[in-house]
Chain A
Amino acid sequence: MAEIQELKSTASQVRRDIIRMVYYATCGHPGASLGCTEFLTALYFEVMDHDPKFNMDGKNEDVFFLSNGHISPLWYSILSRSGYFERDEMSTFRKLNSRLQGHPATHEGLPGVRVASGSLGQGLSVAVGTALAKKLDNDSKTVYVLTGDGELQEGQNWEAIMFAAHHKVDNLIATVDWNGQQIDGSNDDVLSLGDLPGKWRTFGWEVLEMDGNIMEEVLTTLKKAKALTGKGKPIVILMKTSMGHGVDFMAGTHKWHGKAPNKEQAIAALAQLEETLGDYVYENGDV
């Protein structure tokens, strides 16, 4: 098991990557990217058994799907830092002729991405499908999927939630980024999710909860979730996170959902995040 300290140090570099990618692109979604950093770092650097050489079919390895595709800067950093593609390719984020599209896509052949996401509410269904394929192949590996919380307002999720329980898709661990915020305000103001744990439970899922910004808790909960696989029920982790976590002036507010920092703000953010693995090179960059 990687040292907790090592994971935290990786997470710090990932956060730097997010800030720099969004700054140089002058657009993107830093808020929830920063909020989910511990989770994806733990998943890719500790929990999942995966192959950065990348096979589309993901046979005999754990597979991850990102349903809330707008947190692409986080995922791109994680994929690159775990060996799916060269570090410096991050400098192409959201630019013309890049494999690092604003929202993740397979179209340009970026290793690590298996389906496009961005139009919300679709990733859970896809993850269920790949989990079924694994079952048909007697492949004992696990399928992971991350969705946003506002995204749960899309009805397709509830179709997938019903389906996964009915068909006993118990090799699936879904995680919800439960930061309570969405574009037009808080979930409660926009369209209340109500008793979220109760809803998943009533639909037949095993429900776990965790604080997604405490690395130790993320690791323990993911381990618990893994132990619950293969028992007839799909598993969901409702993950409380703080948007913008790790950068004091971005944390706990929805203001940074889809907004890039200016130069001064980028410098201030980076000053709070230790460069642990070396920044990617951005030609003539100024932060």
Chain B
Amino acid sequence: MKDQAIKIEKKSTRDGFGAGLYEVGVKHNNAVALCADLVGSLKMQKFIDAFPERFFQVGVAEANMMGVAAGLAIGGKIPFTGTFANFSTGRVYDQIRQSIAYSHKNVKVCASHAGLSLGEDGATHQILEDVGMMKMLPGFTVINPCDYNQTKAATIAIAEHHGPVYLRFGRPSWPVFTDPDAKFEIGKAVKMKDGKDVSVFATGHLVWNALQAAEQLEKEGISCDVINIHTIKPLDEAAILASVKKTGCVVSCEEHQRNGGLGDSIAQLLAQNLPTPMEYVAVNDTFGESGTPTDLLDKYGLGIKDVLQAIKTVIKKK
């Protein structure tokens, strides 16, 4: 597996978004895109070149971007807003809450550079609270795909879904390990590896880390059920409960604060339906800092070794 990991193709999830956005433009005449001065970072140029009249540069003015997107949605368009995750959520939370969520507008809030893995820019840009904020908004769908292929597919899928969506992806080059032809079903968890000793629920970049940890543990005789929860809301409760009934313990993995993240959602579900020992691989109530993506994930407890350790710990609690 280690050799495989070295050879595997790497591409960023934001590149997947850019590719998907272009496909959306081809398929839907009423799809429009807006960007707050980050066209290159969000990989939106291909859409802009193909559909210049359907692109709106809003400048460094994210609050207005959210309002304009809501207005375009009223007029029957499907707006995709593009900026960093930090500026897509916390900076404009009230605009999203009132003009988009409460007003149920068909706006797709597309957010790059989420989490620690944006790297050297540091904590000002490394938002780790966005999933929590967005999943709290009634009616919002929250999606965090795991690689290039899945981000592309998710981008295409959300255009077909009527309602506000938060699509979270990232900056770094990351292994591409899902099937390019896989259909993306919103709210449907994807089984990545079948196992019986522990349920590992992961989202975003950390699906890869979860799979790597599971491969290593396989050699030690520990069998992991690895499930990719690309849609954090609505949560695939049936898939989670089915896995946990089988394994009896849980590890959640995400590039986000422990407070308010995927792990919280899972814990809430289990507390009500099937109380189960659980460990979290998540950032624990701290801000990030500058560094390379891998160094940061390791330092803040989101590396492969951290998933591995969490699995061993939780199995002992069974």
Cα distance A107–B139 in the bound complex, in angstroms: 11
Q: With CB as the reference atom, state the residue of chain B lying closest to A166.
A: B59
Q: Does residue B77 face the partner (Cβ distance < 8 Å to A)?
A: yes
Chain A residues within 8 Å of B53, by CB: 136
Q: Does residue A117 face the partner (Cβ distance < 8 Å to B)?
A: yes
Question: Majority SS of interface residues in chain B?
Answer: helix
| Contact A125 B99, beta carbon cutoff 8 Å | yes
Chain B residues within 8 Å of A115, by CB: 70-71, 74, 99, 103, 105
Q: Does residue A213 face the partner (Cβ distance < 8 Å to B)?
A: no
A119-B98, A136-B53, A136-B54 known; A125-B75 Cβ under 8 A: no
Report, as a range, how many residues of chain B touch the other chain. 20 to 34
For A188-199 the 0/1 string (1 means CB < 8 A from B) is 000000000000
Report, as a range, how many residues of chain A touch the other chain. 35 or more
Q: Does residue B234 face the partner (Cβ distance < 8 Å to A)?
A: no
A107-B104, A163-B61 known; A130-B74 Cβ under 8 A: yes
Q: Does residue A255 face the partner (Cβ distance < 8 Å to B)?
A: no
Chain A residues within 8 Å of B68, by CB: 125-126, 128-129, 132, 160, 163
Cα distance A160–B56 in the bound complex, in angstroms: 13
A115-B103, A119-B94 known; A59-B76 Cβ under 8 A: yes
Partner of B61, one of A107, A116, A129, A159: A159
Identify the interface centre among B72, B75, B99: most chain A CB within 10 Å of its CB: B75
Q: Does residue A48 face the partner (Cβ distance < 8 Å to B)?
A: no
Identify the interface centre among B56, B95, B102, B103: most chain A CB within 10 Å of its CB: B103
- Smallest Cβ distance from A103 to chain B, in angstroms? 9
A57-B76, A58-B74 known; A106-B103 Cβ under 8 A: yes
Cα distance A136–B74 in the bound complex, in angstroms: 13
Q: Does residue B137 face the partner (Cβ distance < 8 Å to A)?
A: no
- Smallest Cβ distance from A133 to chain B, in angstroms? 2
21 A-B pairs within 8 Å (CB atoms) are namely A57-B74, A57-B75, A59-B75, A105-B103, A114-B74, A115-B70, A115-B105, A121-B63, A122-B98, A125-B70, A129-B72, A130-B75, A132-B75, A133-B71, A133-B74, A136-B32, A137-B75, A137-B76, A156-B67, A159-B64, A163-B58
Known: A107-B104, A119-B97. 14 other contacts (CB 8 A): A57-B76, A121-B63, A125-B66, A125-B71, A126-B68, A126-B70, A126-B71, A126-B74, A128-B68, A132-B72, A132-B75, A133-B75, A162-B59, A162-B61
